[in-house]
Amino acid sequence: MLTKSVILLACLVMVSVAQADDSAKSKQIEDKFKLADKNGDGQLTLEEAKAGMPRVAKGFDKIDVDKKGYVTVDQIKAMAN
């Protein structure tokens, strides 16, 4: 029979692993965004997304909820979660 301490420790380990995965995913998105953002303005247009982040380009209209014609790295991260 597992003790409460063992179960709690296992839960903490799983949370830590999930946070590390989220952090790695976030870093990967940021790195790809920087490469795709050719003019470095912090805004990815559909054309930039098509060239550098094709998955973002496919869902561009869903990510660009304000219909500004660009998406930010924070918007992409929010949709990735």
Q: What is the pTM of this model?
A: 0.73
Q: Is the pLDDT of residue 68 over 60?
A: yes
CA distance linking residue 35 with residue 53, whole number of Å:
9
Question: How many residues in total does the chain contain?
Answer: 81
When pLDDT is cut at 50, 70 and 90, the band that residue 23 belongs to is confident
Domain boundaries, the chain: 25-80
Q: 25-80 maps to which CATH number?
A: 1.10.238.10
